[in-house]
Chain A
């Protein structure tokens, strides 16, 4: 049995933040969950995937083709009265936002929790957007855990809040909350999970035509007020200490601040205002918490979300309380915080001396060789790139080629010696931007997309490109898995783990059905044949598609039970 199903109430276990979220779902009785993998949220989907495969699993889970679809699955389940869940990385929320913005209008019946993992410092992402702004944009309540225990507790509480408000509730982590392990005390696993509900039709609710949407938007704003009341009285917002200076913080910053206060020994000078339920910004709670303080420091990573809310609130109340944080230049809007940087700011704020750690003189340190990430030994992508490069060289057009790229292990092709990734914004952008380059330049366009990314966001731009008669060659790198995030399945997989019984959708059939006439399938390891086939198709006009098919070497090893062939 999966360990997260086995643990008993009261047991204390070392759990990863993301695992604690999954345990929270089991304790809350979540019945339906769906996700598309994305680091730093991936372990949640992976654990749910294995739990859902257990006999008598308490939860339905699917890897959907993208975050939008996953959120739609969860939304409909919640509309039917079933507790539901979806999770994603921050940029996944961009994809799901089309659903989310209007889902906020129509709301839910069963509790629905949307988990989003931000990635300050971009450990494994293309940007460091702050999802808290999405919560404000969509008018949805947001909780921000700061420890593995809170990851579990807040996931459970989020369902209660969601049902009370009939709104989805967002739980937001960052890399350093998702990928931190710590002791978590188990609660009771829900024994009577509602796996199936019944959808009650409501003409003036679930279909937001303008006349309905106008009513629902009004309702939503009323719910925001109710949500703020709940945040005001929530135990997740709390004051620690009663010193004359206040530090407002949330998420991982709570940990940095607590350590700094301990290390500096300034407990008597500060009070920590810990914001576990920061949005909608609970003005009355914060006002009470700031009663009689001399000044406030706001410690939050990325955007000054709480800081701006605080300034507005103080301004409305005509209070002249000095606020320190990003606007004062004390803390940056860039990257995740380093604990010593937070400690230095807390020291300044509390008029305490900060003693820098004494390091030995490291000035003689040479430039150290890097270990940049690279494609694995034997990776089929490397072969595909080399074959395409060779074909273009032989055709004499290599210098005149643009390589739009996409999101996956193969983005590493940007590095030397391959250097075949020139332009990228997001999932699926290889295809849409190829159309743009084809419309705007006379350069050859050869783009690359992975199989999972193709199903995520490649289908619609390919249809558009064929219809609009663009001119480029799309290479689909089909390794039969979502490799980069840890080998999750997708609709196109043909190499399957034992017991995996879902059907395969053939990429070749899909591409041809979309009207692509110039199509070729290659085996990237058969260099000579591959280069010959590539030379032929790279000489053609119109939308051309190459399907380069060979399994991810790590995935193949795992599916075969770790045996070497």
Chain B
């Protein structure tokens, strides 16, 4: 397959690392070379959490400026923060539901006006999708499945050589049994949202 750098970003608690690992497990099943890097540490403390999934033989675990083929972002402010990792050729997929940082709540900063930026992204990147992943996760039966809705959207674009069936199988193998159904539903809702 083509070599792909996928940057997954969001806020601690959104299941970022699980999303990356699901892609990793799927890649191993399909015999596609994979490397995942995770930023650990402050994840529980409301900070930014980033992971990078490298497919097709890329070895370096870091995505630097302009290198991301795909930006998969679970939170709109974090989408903006990571835009410089994308180039004009990138695909940007973002959740539209903000998680307001405490610095904004304390009045130290302003949350950017996202609608303008969504049109900017629509215009300036090869491909752009904005979805309300929180609403879809709830519809699927668990608010925690935002990560899998977003993963569904990524699969739905057809950029990766992973079919929905492969991802569903991976979810069955990796996710706790009682959450499997909701996650498979979440995956489907995400995939359909970008088609």
Asked if A358 meets B88 with Cβ closer than 8 Å, knowing A176-B37, A338-B64, A369-B101, the reply is yes
In the complex the two chains form, what is the Cα distance from A541 to B77 in whole Å? 50
Contact A357 B24 (CB under 8 A): no
At the interface, yes or no: B166 with Cβ under 8 Å from chain A?
no
CA distance A123 to B84 in the complex (A): 20
Please, which residue of chain B has its CB at the minimum distance from the CB of A371? B101
Q: Is B4 an interface residue (CB 8 A)?
A: no
**Does B62 touch A at the CB level, under 8 Å?**
yes
Report the interface size class on chain A.
Answer: 35 or more
Contact string against B for A residues 442-454, beta-carbon threshold 8 Å, 1 for contact and 0 otherwise:
0000000000000
A362: interface (CB < 8 Å): yes
> B103–A371 contact, CB under 8 A?
yes
Q: For chain B residues 4-27, which have a beta carbon within 8 Å of chain A? A: 11, 21, 24-25
Which of A176, A180, A181 has the most chain B CB atoms inside 10 A of its CB?
Answer: A181
CB-based contact A258/B59 at 8 Å: yes
Nearest-neighbor residue (CB-CB) of A360 within chain B: B124
The answer, among A12, A182, A340, A373, for a CB contact under 8 Å with B67, is A340
The reply to whether the CB of B141 lies closer than 8 angstroms to some CB of chain A is no
Q: How far is the CB of B20 from chain A (nearest CB, A)?
A: 8
A372 and B65 contact, CB distance less than 8 A = no
Please state if B88 and A39 are interface contacts (CB–CB under 8 Å).
no
Question: Do the beta carbons of B64 and A368 come within 8 Å of each other?
Answer: no
A126 within 8 A of B: no
Within 8 Å of chain B (Cβ to Cβ): is A319? no
Contacts of A179 in B (CB 8 A): 37-40
Which residues of the partner chain A approach B11 to less than 8 Å between Cβ atoms? 371
Contacts of B109 on A, CB cut-off 8 Å? 367-370
A337 proximity list for chain B (CB < 8 A): 62
Residues of A within 8 A of B112 (CB): 366, 368
- Say whether, besides A39-B40, A124-B41, A176-B61, A369 and B21 are in contact (CB < 8 Å): no
* Contact in complex: A14, B103 (CB < 8 Å): no
- Does more than half of chain A's interface fall in helix, strand or loop, or is it mixed? loop
Chain A positions within 8 Å of B158 at CB level: none
Q: Does B42 contact A (CB under 8 A)?
A: yes
Shortest CB–CB separation between residue B112 and chain A, in angstroms?
5
- B-facing mask of A1-39, CB < 8 A → 1, else 0? 000000000001110100000000000000000000001
A residues within 8 A CB of B61?
Answer: 176, 180, 252, 255
| In the complex, chain B residues whose CB is within 8 Å of the CB of A124 | 40-42
Q: Is the CB of B81 within 8 A of A368?
A: yes
What residues of chain B lie closer than 8 Å to A164, measured between beta carbons? Answer: none
Cβ < 8 Å to B, chain A residues 332-349: 336-342
Q: Interface residues of B, CB < 8 Å — how many?
A: 52
Cβ of A533 under 8 Å from chain B:
no
Interface residues of B in 63-119 (CB under 8 A from A): 63-67, 77, 80-81, 83-84, 86-89, 101-104, 108-112
* B103 pairs with A370, CB closer than 8 A: yes
Q: At the interface, yes or no: B47 with Cβ under 8 Å from chain A?
A: yes
With A183-B34, A371-B101: A340-B58 Cβ-Cβ less than 8 Å: no
Complexed CA–CA distance, A262 and B33 (Å): 15
Is the pair A341, B36 in contact by a Cβ cutoff of 8 Å? Answer: no
Q: Judge if A56 is at the interface, Cβ distance under 8 Å.
A: no
Please tell me if A223 contacts chain B, counting CB pairs below 8 Å: no
Asked if B45 lies at the interface with its beta carbon under 8 angstroms from chain A, I say yes
- Please, how many angstroms separate the alpha-carbon atoms of A370 and B45 in the complex? 13
B40 A358 Cβ-Cβ under 8 A: no
**How far in angstroms is the closest Cβ of chain A from B118?**
14
Q: Are A14 and B101 in contact (CB under 8 A)?
A: no
Q: Please name all residues of chain B whose beta carbon is closer than 8 Å to the beta carbon of A369 when the two chains form the complex.
A: 77, 101, 103-104, 108-111
Least Cβ distance of A543 to chain B in Å?
Answer: 32
CB distance from B96 to the nearest CB of A (A): 17
User: For the complex, is A211 an interface residue (Cβ under 8 Å from B)?
Assistant: no
With a cutoff of 8 Å between Cβ atoms, the chain B residues found around residue A370 in the complex are 101, 103, 109
Q: Which chain A residues lie closer than 8 Å to B81 at the CB level?
A: 368
- By a CB distance below 8 angstroms, the chain A residues around B102 are 371, 374
CA distance A252 to B59 in the complex (A): 9
Does B35 make an interface contact (CB < 8 A)? yes
B60 lies within 8 A of chain A by Cβ: yes
A190 within 8 A of B: no
> Chain B residues near A360 (CB, 8 Å)?
83, 86, 88, 120, 124-125
A414 at the interface (CB under 8 A from B): no
CA distance A339 to B63 in the complex (A): 7
Please, which residues of chain A bring their CB within 8 A of the CB of B59? 147, 254-256, 258-259
Contact of B35 among A180, A341, A357 (CB under 8 A): A180
Q: Is the CB of B65 within 8 A of A180?
A: no
B interface list, Cβ under 8 A from A = 11, 21, 24-25, 28, 33-42, 44-48, 57-67, 77, 80-81, 83-84, 86-89, 101-104, 108-112, 120, 124-125
Given pairs A14-B24, A359-B65, A372-B47, 9 additional interface contacts (CB within 8 A): A14-B25, A39-B41, A179-B37, A183-B34, A338-B64, A342-B60, A358-B66, A362-B83, A373-B46
Q: Could you write out 11 A-B pairs with CB less than 8 Å apart?
A: A39-B40, A123-B39, A252-B60, A259-B58, A339-B60, A367-B109, A368-B80, A368-B109, A372-B103, A373-B42, A376-B45
Please name the 9 residue pairs, one residue from A and one from B, whose CB atoms are nearest each other, closest first.
A357-B66, A369-B109, A255-B59, A360-B124, A338-B64, A373-B42, A357-B87, A181-B36, A340-B64
